[in-house]
Amino acid sequence: MADELIKPHGSDTLNPLYVADSAKRAELEKEASTLPSIVVCSQAAANAVMMGSGYFNPLTGFMGLEETLSVADKMQLKNGLFWPTPVVNVVQDASAIKDAKRIALKDPNVEGNPIIAIQNIEKIEEASDEQMKHVAEKVYGTTDEKHPGVAAWMSVGKTFISGPIQVLNYSYFDKEFPETFRTAMQIREMIQKNGWKKVVAFQTRNPMHRAHEELTKMAMKAMNADGAVIHMLLGKLKKGDIPADVRDGCIRKMVDLYFEPNTAEVTGYGFDMLYAGPREALLHAVFRQNMGATTLITGRDHAGVGDYYGPFDAQTIFDEIPKDALLIDIYKGDHTVWCKKCENIVMMRDCPHSNEDYLMLSGTKVREMLAAGQALPAEFARPEVAKILMAHYQSEA
């Protein structure tokens, strides 16, 4: 059965770093309590969860400085395998663990900082300010610290701790989102159980409005897909983004009411948003392939923030990487909107009409309307979804 699905990235089978054997895990937890320890940053904890869940296959641990620079400059691991973004454990101060060979990594996002993983130390290296800026420039396309991804990268420290890890838990994700958080292994099993062969993945960090719903359906039709995995980010976002539990409720409501039965699954993954635009789109493709999807939808301004990236940069970057870098297909979506003349949701590139015929609402306008208790136009958002969002914004007001 397993070989019917798309192969994971860089290996024949998935290699999740979570220690699934409960006896072995209990033994490691006991050992971890005796090891020198360090509280890692939120991004490193999320990286551990992604490696534990099989999403970052075939990585075996955190990258060192040389590999980080190789990924930044060439999008390649030391062994030549395609990889678009650094996966690192960077800290301000490693003095507490400087002579250790094996350390416990503590979770900054859970009360009491429980141990999330054990790491074997290969190297502890100090990056220069120039190297940190160079990586930011390559990965984020800017060194502007107003960019939330750059701000996070430049603030966590310059000390790289590299080496393989064994993951002991999935942080807060499986506890806070038990119905939604799924590992890459679980999604592969779900795809097989559903009997799906062609699977479209939709990435979201927001609730899905009608345009997103239609984009997913357009991609399913174009790719002749059996099903869609709506795969939402459950980790840290920037200020003002909608909390994961509210998004989850909105998306589930939409799928229940507006998708054909057994054609869409709502799931989530434990990662902090990078806002790295094109590079993050590539990373999204890597881990969607690992979970068994055959197509990733990349929309307009995919994984972007502000005006740092052009609207289609995250699509054209797929034309710039080697043809054999990934097995997953990319469905490139244009801006989808309600056209008053077509009386339908359309992709702008396929529609003969112009901007004045489109229903366009900015995020700010949507938030203002919801906070004021005003219904969103039915052409823009499903009323059942808008109701959930309105309750959220009014509770925040």
Spans of all domains in the chain = 2-174, 181-396
Fold of 181-396: Rossmann fold (3.40.50)
Q: What is the pLDDT of residue 2?
A: 44
Distance CA 397, CA 395 (A): 6
205 catalytic residue (yes or no): yes
SS (H, E, C) 74-122: HCECCCCCECCCCCCCEECCCHHHCCCCEEEEECCCCCCCCEEEEEECC
Give the pLDDT confidence of 206-224 residue by residue, as tens digits. 899 999 999 999 999 999 9
Q: What percent of the chain has pLDDT over 90?
A: 90
Give the residue-averaged pLDDT of 104-124.
98
Q: What is the pLDDT of residue 76?
A: 98
User: Which member of 15, 102, 120, 205 is catalytic?
Assistant: 205
Give the residue-averaged pLDDT of 22-41.
98
Q: What is the pLDDT of residue 243?
A: 86
Q: What is the pLDDT of residue 119?
A: 98
In 3-state terms, what secondary structure has residue 207?
coil
Q: What is the H or E stretch that residue 167 is in?
A: strand 159-167
206 catalytic residue (yes or no): yes
**pLDDT band (50, 70, 90) for residue 362:** confident
Tell me how far CA of residue 193 lies from CA of 3, 196, 388, in angstroms.
14, 8, 31
Tell me how far CA of residue 289 lies from CA of 55, 176, 329, 345, in angstroms.
9, 25, 9, 29
The CATH code that applies to domain 2-174 is: 3.10.400.10
User: Which member of 25, 206, 252, 367 is catalytic?
Assistant: 206
pLDDT at 3 over 70: no
Domains 2-174 and 181-396 share a fold: no
Q: What is the pLDDT of residue 1?
A: 38
Q: Model's pTM, two decimal places? A: 0.95
**pLDDT band (50, 70, 90) for residue 364:** confident
